[in-house]
Amino acid sequence: MIVVDTSVFIDAIFEYDKERTDIARKLFREPQNLKLQVVEPDIFKIELIGQLVKRMEREKAIALYELIIERIETIDTTKLKEIAFEIALQTGCRAVDSFYISAAHSTNAVLVSNDRTQVEGAMKYGISAFYLLEESDKLFEVLK
């Protein structure tokens, strides 16, 4: 299983920097090839729709959102909040980051992000985490 931060989804969907987009898109091909399950805290749904409607027409954003959500597994945030609190307490990470880290912890998953601060927080808590923009080769080796 892998937990993928919203930042990676946005890089895969919208091309602001070709290299970032290529790396993110490659990541999403790997789980399909390896039959890995992508799991997210359900706060991901709110983050994703907010980012999509900021960048595209509402109807298209909703259609893309539904397409993405049907391909991932989500964990109810209420089930993660105690661990998320402990993570924030121990690492000083942001609230939303603690939910992604908690999802990875709860499922023994690898966390993947294009947010260096989130990755550092996860690693402080002992979670296997990768900053995709600099560690994609290492991550793809781990996923095989």
Q: Domain-by-domain residue ranges, the chain?
A: 2-143
Q: How far apart are the C-alpha atoms of 103 and 84, rounded to whole Å? A: 9
**Which homologous superfamily does the CATH classification assign to the domain defined by 2-143?**
5'-nuclease (3.40.50.1010)
Inform me whether the pLDDT recorded for 94 exceeds 80: yes
Burial 87-125 (b: 16+ CB within 10 A, else e): bbeebebeebbbbbbbbbbbeebbbbbbbeebbbbbbeb
Structure tokens at 126: 């002992």
The percent of residues in the chain predicted with pLDDT above 70, rounded, is 97
Distances (CA, A) of 7 to 43, 117, 129: 13, 12, 14
Once rounded to an integer, what is the mean pLDDT over residues 86-109? Answer: 97
33: confidence class by pLDDT, cuts 50, 70, 90: low
Structure tokens at 117: 């601060």
Beta bridge partners of 3: 111
Reported as a single tens digit per residue, the pLDDT across 39-65 is 999 999 999 999 999 999 999 999 999
pTM attached to this predicted model: 0.93
Q: Could you tell me if 26 and 133 are in contact, meaning their C-beta atoms sit under 8 angstroms apart? A: no
Q: How far apart are the C-alpha atoms of 36 and 58, rounded to whole Å? A: 30
Backbone angles phi, psi at 35, to 5 degrees: 60, 40
